[in-house]
Amino acid sequence: QVQLVESGGGVVQPGRSLRLSCAASGFVFSTYAMSWVRQAPGKGLECVAVISYDGINKYHADSVKGRFTISRDNSKDTLYLQVNSLRTEDTAVYYCARDNNADYWGQGTLVTVSS
Amino acid sequence: DVVMTQSPLSLPVTLGQPASISCRSSQSLVHSDGNTYLNWFQQRPGQSPRRLIYKVSNRDSGVPDRFSGSGSGTDFTLKISRVEAEDVGVYYCMQGTHWPPGVFGQGTKVEIK
């Protein structure tokens, strides 16, 4: 069965960095585009980054452009989100989701940015 | 980006009664391939979102048939024929036509009266 497992979240100070990971299993990872979607506490869903199946095409939301970078390693069936220069407003649960229609989601990893 | 607008944002319902959520997009969601990539998601308290409906009206595997989707172009609706206690949560529409990115509606909170 399809599984997406995020990791790498934690409590960090403003300005610091983290690398989030999403380990995929149960499907041919290298044939699917992938997304990172975040949800701030008590708020809605925001797609912050997207990557094509082959890693060539990438999209980053304006709110994170220049600070976050999406990447993937198809040999390891893993999706990444490098998050730099973190701000308090980046505090959220970060989910990875499969495909442009988000048919499968992980359980999420919580990033808390606080001094 | 496309803007997705849901209404109402809060929906108190009586158990066993129907419920309906509207979702409107700022642009037509008809893709050049002829499909309309409008999805509905359910997020129960403390859980990850789960897709219920894809391409306007197709239920995902395991989704009860009391959930149905309809609509076309820019106007879409999610209906629950008879609300059950396990349906409490927040429901989101999302467009996958003008992608990237996937754009979500604000969410509609369904609660029991």
pLDDT at A100: 87
pLDDT tens digits, one per residue of A2-13: 999 999 999 999
Burial of B62 (0-12, 13-18, 19+ CB in 10 A): exposed
* Residues from chain A contacting residue B103 (CB–CB below 8 Å): 47
- Angular region, A94: left φ>0, alpha ψ -120 to 50, beta rest: beta
Q: How far apart are CA B112 and CA B84, in angstroms?
A: 9
Per-residue pLDDT reduced to its tens digit, A14-72 = 999 999 999 999 999 999 999 999 999 999 999 999 999 999 999 999 999 999 999 99
Residue A88 carries which side chain, given as an amino acid letter?
T
Helices (H) and strands (E) in chain B, counts: 0, 11
Q: What is the mean pLDDT of residues B15-38?
A: 97
Q: Per-residue pLDDT tens for B66-111?
A: 999 999 999 999 999 999 999 999 999 999 999 888 899 999 999 9
CA of A52 to nearest chain B CA: how many angstroms apart? 10
Helix (H) or strand (E) holding B85: none
> Does the beta-carbon distance from B49 to A50 stay under 8 Å?
no
Q: Which of B102, B104, B107 sits opposite A100 (nearest CB)?
A: B102
